[in-house]
Structure 1
Amino acid sequence: MSEEQQQQQQQQQQEQQQQQQQQQQQKQNKKGQDQQDQQQQQQYYAQMQQYQQSLQNDSHSVILVTAGYDNTVRFWEALSGICSKTIKHPDSQVNRLCISPDKTILAAAGNHSVRLYDIASNNDSPFIVFGEHTGNVIATGFHGEGRWMFTASEDGHLKIWDTRSGRNPVLTRNFDNGAPITDAVMHANQGELITCDQNGAVKIWDLTAHSCTHELVPEEGVPMRSVTVASDGSMLIAVNNKGNCYVWKLSNGSDANDVEPVHQFQAHNNYILRVMLSPDTKLLATCSADNTAKIWNAGNNFELLLTLQGHQRWVWDCAFSADSAYLVTASSDHVARLWELQNGETIRQYNGHHKAAVCVALNDLSVGYS
């Protein structure tokens, strides 16, 4: 055998050895990846079984409701995705839904008024209709102990209603915001309400002082779209039509220094339609006209954690589960989705609306008052 042939043979042997080593390494890598995937899958299935078991054990305590532009309010079985009850809302579309803390009443905000429904009743008619607004009611909410409710409208008025006086709520305060209100939420202290409006302002209303104590205008002339307050009262977040998100630190008091701007970032390249802090205040959800919802780390400089993709049109509203592990979204594609937030997967779809689903409410607490 010539020297050249010997070199070729040695080279072939080396190449074969390298190929064998690469194949062995690939097998080991695949085995390791398969084991990792299997562990993750087992963990995911275990979590899903735990969540499904909790729903089965306490199915009557899970209230999931959607509504929108088909003039219906739909109640859903969260686990199966089956629509358990449909209520007609003939006068207008539904702009916002809210479940009372004791989980007995559903408030549906529409054009000019709010309708209250008995959740446990088979009667599809509201037992109270109130509001006396001249524009769309875009937000409503309950006092934690059921003593009063608030309504906020595109007519520029924020109203407080005494609900202890009997079957018909009594108007006790009427704040003139001076511009169409686009969203309103209650502070955790139950003594303040926060609104945002079409003129680009975020306002804090003191119900004891009967006045606006703070007015924040992060971008002059850019409409603010939605606002959320941390459950511990530590943080206020508002979003606008440019997709920007603004964060303020809150502390007790009425001084201007008690509201400190701490962060701002662009969350979407299109309208943000809804912003929501999770009950544990660790996550922030934003819903957008770009057909996505995004999950941000509220405790780490608002790092993007997940982009929830699956809706085909605008995502209008969202609601967290009580443990902050799940999110329900409502979209113009007529569908609501339940997302598992560990990996961002859709685990249930709720199909039945014939037009845009623009609002959702979820209460899966095992007790009435949080």
Structure 2
Amino acid sequence: MPAQTLGHKSSAPRHDMSVILVTGSYDHEIRFWEAWSGICSRTITRSGESGQINRLAISPDKRLLAAAIHKKVNIYDIASASSTPLVSFDGQNGHKNNVTSVSFHSEGKWLVTGSEDGTIKIWDLRSGQLHRNYDNGAPVNDVVVHPNQGELISCDQAGSIKQWDLSENICTHELTPAGDIPIRSVTLASDGSCLVAGNNKGKCYVWRVNEESSHLPRFQAVTKFQAHNKYLTRCLLSPDTKFLATCSADTTVKIWSVSHNFEFKLEKVLQGHQRWVWDCAFSADSAYLVTASSDHTARLWEMASGETVRQYNGHHKAAVCCALHDGAS
């Protein structure tokens, strides 16, 4: 029987963990949602603990939730009802400023974090220890793990995009597409063929990513386009690499189709949020998109129609991050 995805509505019981949808807010709460009913099934209240939630990530096996909370990262057990984290990455080896990005390595043994303190850290989830530290030299806004699992791509406040080699422990490539205009978000195609970066001025830059062995430039600039006229907060390629979603301070999410020769065409403008849209996440089949907004809500959009099919109400401050995992674990 195929794994249930968002594309297959079912009357599964409440304990069904096939679709995991999580949001984080400036109200300091992390909420788990039943995707189709819109019911909040669990709240991690974090009572007595300060710090806003910046980013969320779900491990590939759906066991763990990583939450970037101010300067630290908490790891929660998704199947548990406890609000106590399994482990926290902080203290002496931890980040010294806001953690802005969290990503799991595909095997789920490592967690990658980036921070405004100018460092990228790799944590060993088995031992709970810091495994590696990269000095980026400028506040880090986003980090993604390359599908080959051997490299990281980061972007920063100084306008740089860097590729870090996990085996050599070094920065192997650096791009500065718009001088010192901060790069807010980076996203890699699931097959590693394409890199998109969005900056603070709402502009997107696209590179073809060539194999290191191809004798071609690793990053080949192919196009750039003005996605929004205001601040861009997130850009994300869909799992099937056919679409790019861009979120913005202009309250919209734009959906761009991606052709095989890297032409980006505006397909839909998702309208409904009342304030800044901070984050988004695709379903495994690329048919749905979840978004989080300063209007305190998250929304589930159907890509085919561009309509909101569910709204998630419960946060009482800005919802700034979301994570969705509805694929096979």
Measure the CA separation in 2 of the matches of 1:172 and 1:118.
21
Correspondence for 2:167 among 208, 211, 217? 208
Amino acid of the residue matched to residue 298 of structure 1?
A: V
Measure the CA separation in 2 of the matches of 1:140 and 1:51.
24
Q: Deviations over 1:233-268 (max 9, x none)?
A: 001110001110000011221878111001100000
The 3-state SS of whatever aligns with 2:153 is strand
Q: Point out which structure has higher relative CO (alpha carbons under 8 A, 6+ apart).
A: 2
The 3-state SS of whatever aligns with 1:54 is coil
Measure the CA separation in 2 of the matches of 1:69 and 1:118.
21
Give the fraction of aligned pairs with identical amino acids, expressed as a percent. Answer: 60
Q: Deviations over 1:266-285 (max 9, x none)?
A: 00000110010000011000
Measure the CA separation in 2 of the matches of 1:86 and 1:146.
24
Measure the CA separation in 1 of the matches of 2:313 and 2:296.
7
Correspondence for 1:291 among 234, 245, 251? 251
Measure the CA separation in 2 of the matches of 1:94 and 1:282.
30
1:170 aligns with 2:125: no
1:117 aligns with 2:76: yes
1:278 aligns with 2:246: no
Other-structure match for 1:337:
299
Q: Hey, which of these two has a bigger chunk of strand by percent?
A: 2
Normalising by structure 2, we get a TM-score of: 0.93
Measure the CA separation in 2 of the matches of 1:52 and 1:271.
32
Measure the CA separation in 2 of the matches of 1:97 and 1:351.
18
Amino acid of the residue matched to residue 76 of structure 2?
A: Y
Measure the CA separation in 2 of the matches of 1:56 and 1:113.
38
Q: Deviations over 1:194-248 (max 9, x none)?
A: 1000010000001111110110000112010000001100011100011100000
The 3-state SS of whatever aligns with 1:228 is strand
1:198 aligns with 2:153: no
The 3-state SS of whatever aligns with 1:56 is coil
Cα distance, 1:91 vs structure 2: 2.0
Contact map agreement 1:55 1:79 (CA 8 A) in 2 = no
Structure 2, unmatched stretches of 5+, are: none
The 3-state SS of whatever aligns with 1:352 is coil
Normalising by structure 1, we get a TM-score of: 0.83
Other-structure match for 2:58:
99
Amino acid of the residue matched to residue 234 of structure 1?
A: S
Distance 1:133 1:51, change over 3 A: closer
Structure 1, unmatched stretches of 5+, are: 1-49
Cα distance, 1:53 vs structure 2: 4.7
Aligned residues: 315
User: Greater CA radius of gyration, 1 or 2?
Assistant: 1
Q: Deviations over 1:100-141 (max 9, x none)?
A: 000011000011110000011111111100041000011111
Other-structure match for 1:61:
18
Distance 1:181 1:150, change over 3 A: same
Q: Deviations over 1:130-182 (max 9, x none)?
A: 041000011111111122111110000001112233xxx22121110000001
Cα distance, 1:56 vs structure 2: 3.1
1:156 aligns with 2:118: yes
Other-structure match for 1:20:
none
